[in-house]
Amino acid sequence: MMDQIIVQGGGELHGEIPIAGAKNACLTLMPATLLTDEPLTLTNAPRLSDIRTMAELLQSLGTEFTSMQDGKVLSLSSHDLTSLTADYDIVRKMRASNLVLGPLLARAGRAVVSLPGGCAIGARPMDLHISGLEAMGASIELRDGYLHAEAKGGLKGAVINQGFASVGATENIVMAATLAKGTTVLNNAAREPEIVDLVKCLRAMGAQIEGEGSSSITIQGVEALHGATHPVVVDRIELGTYMIAPAIAGGEVELIGGRMDLIEAFCEKLDAAGIAVEQTNRGLKVARKNGRIRAVDVKTEVFPGFPTDLQAQMMALMCTAEGVSVLEETIFENRFMHAPELMRMGAKIDVHGGHATVTGVEKLRGAPVMATDLRASISLILAGLAAEGETVVSRVYHLDRGYERVVRKLRGVGANLKRVKEGAADE
């Protein structure tokens, strides 16, 4: 019997929600331990199943891992690599596992990495990771579902022009280039805050990198990196998700640690929809202005555009907006799987390829719904907050990969929801 979350809709939300460290930043920072034989300490880590999976993968390679302060501080030491193979049994659980490829190649000159798994939201191929590392002198071939990579004589600096601003490939290439001989220039680099955070950490470890946050990053290879302590940047997707909560349910909530610069495009859309967002000395305060939400059009784009990871939550908000909104998904092709579930709650949504047209309704109605992926899970819970009656969200195991203590955080601002399964409730 899997977990379900039962939501009783209709109440306004008031209070504050602490925002965790970013999952996607932490999952990138953890493999950086492979670049040095000295300890790396990460603070403000989120407490998520994906973090435990990455720790399991690193431990299988020989990393010593300790979790402290209720999981918010992670200590990693890779002074002795005992394996260079990232096994399918671990990698299949999470796409970010492929981020061990660049660091292993850079430090050990060899790596065998299984092709990854993760959410079923479309093709996310490894081509750009491979072509970038091959430009630096690696030879990589796919055999039996594993990438066999080797860099005889070590990696060498190169000019790499990415065909697409891939976040994962940017991270893999930047980490690998820190120990390569000479200078690497990565053009059409991804600009996400998680990459800026990774570079801050690598710089603290002794790397020489310039241009992070722009589309061209220059890395001057060094002989060796050393240990460091680094705080994980706050999670902009968790931040945006909880900003939707008072917008959809009514009330006023302060998101502790929130920063507007991390999600400016999202904040602009909320403002256009009639939601007030204010930077405070503790975070961001969010409240619905007057009356019903207004429909706004949204197109997902790579950073600094509107994040694909907030599209499902925005769709939930648009379901009760006044007017018609069009959501265009340009990043992942299977990202509207939550639409039929929202329609079970009375939403009017018409999906055509990469476009979803949402005609706002006065009220959503509670219904049994099923989560299909991580962001879809939370969008259904948000919709449940605004719906009349009871919403039962099934298959919520996806949530634990990306949101820590969802039920506790939402109950803390007055939401009426609970997590149920045979013999247990929310942690």
Cβ burial 142-167 (10 Å sphere, 16+ → b, else e): eeeebbebebeebbbbbebebeebbb
Residue 134 sits at φ, ψ, to 5 deg, of -65, -35
Does the annotation flag 256 for ligand binding? no
Contact (Cβ atoms closer than 8 angstroms) between residue 42 and residue 51? no
Does the annotation flag 348 for ligand binding? no
Does the annotation flag 309 for ligand binding? yes
Q: d(Cα 291, Cα 300) in Å, to the nearest integer?
A: 27
AA letter at 230: H
Q: What separation in angstroms does the CA of 136 have from each of 125, 208, 328?
A: 19, 17, 36
Q: d(Cα 148, Cα 114) in Å, to the nearest integer?
A: 9
Q: Is the peptide bond before 304 cis (omega within 30 degrees of 0)?
A: yes
Contact (Cβ atoms closer than 8 angstroms) between residue 90 and residue 53? yes
Does the annotation flag 46 for ligand binding? no
- In the block, residue with structure tokens 């299949």: 92
Does the annotation flag 76 for ligand binding? no
Determine the straight-line distance between the first and last CA of the chain, rounded to whole angstroms: 17
- In the block, residue with structure tokens 């991804």: 190
Is there a catalytic annotation at residue 119? Answer: yes
Does the annotation flag 23 for ligand binding? yes
In the three-class reduction of DSSP (H, G, I as helix; E, B as strand; rest coil), residue 394 is classed as strand
AA letter at 305: G
Does the annotation flag 95 for ligand binding? yes
Does the annotation flag 181 for ligand binding? no
- In the block, residue with structure tokens 């860099």: 151
Ramachandran quadrant class, 351 (left: phi over 0; alpha: psi -120 to 50; beta: rest): beta
Q: d(Cα 207, Cα 159) in Å, to the nearest integer?
A: 18
Dihedral, 336, 341, 342, 348 alpha carbons, nearest 10? 80
DSSP 253: E
Q: d(Cα 47, Cα 69) in Å, to the nearest integer?
A: 11
Does the annotation flag 418 for ligand binding? no
Query: Which one of the listed residues 26, 119, 267, 319 is annotated catalytic?
Result: 119
Does the annotation flag 370 for ligand binding? no
Q: Hey, which residues are catalytic here? A: 119
Binding-site residue ranges for UDP-N-acetyl-alpha-D-glucosamine: 95, 124-128, 309, 331
Q: Binding site for phosphoenolpyruvate: residue ranges?
A: 23-24
Annotated binding site: 23-24, 95, 124-128, 309, 331
